[in-house]
Amino acid sequence: MSYLTDRKRATGMGSAKSGTEHHWSMTVSSAALLVLIPLFIFTFGPMLGEPHDVVTAYFARPFPAIIATLTILVTFKHFAGGVQALIEDYVHGGAQKVAMIAMTCLSWAAAATGLYAMVRLAL
């Protein structure tokens, strides 16, 4: 039978540097997505199958452009945080560093591509 306290059992198991910050970041981004995704569906949905000039005119208006831009930014921020947690839990060693770099590059590239597309549509 062990008489160790919970703190003594946890000593040496690693540091808790930014876990709380990461948790709150994921919580805030998921709450934002809870509002943004339905708004995005209701603003983006009617434009499916429309001609290019109609879609361009629609996204030249501020509200649909802002909703789409915010959805893109928050979605890829949330994606990066979730994949970071998965990589930290399941990948170890040098592969972890490579996977983190690849995930960061992928999420930034996808967000930049989406923002570029929105700027091209809105302007």
- pLDDT for 79-108, tens place per residue? 999 999 999 999 999 999 999 999 999 999
- Report how far residue 9's alpha carbon sits from residue 57's, in angstroms, rounded to the nearest whole number: 62
Residue percentage of the chain with pLDDT more than 70: 92
Q: Which residue has the higher pLDDT, 71 or 9?
A: 71
Q: How many CB atoms lie within 10 A of CB 82?
A: 14
Please check whether residue 118 is in contact with residue 72, taking contact to mean a CB–CB distance below 8 angstroms.
yes
Residue 1 pLDDT exceeds 60: no
Residue 2 pLDDT exceeds 90: no
- Report, at the CATH architecture level, how domain 20-122 is classified: Up-down Bundle (1.20)
What number is the average pLDDT over the span 22-40? 96
Residue boundaries of the structural domains of the chain: 20-122
Residue 60 pLDDT exceeds 80: yes
Q: How many CB atoms lie within 10 A of CB 59?
A: 23
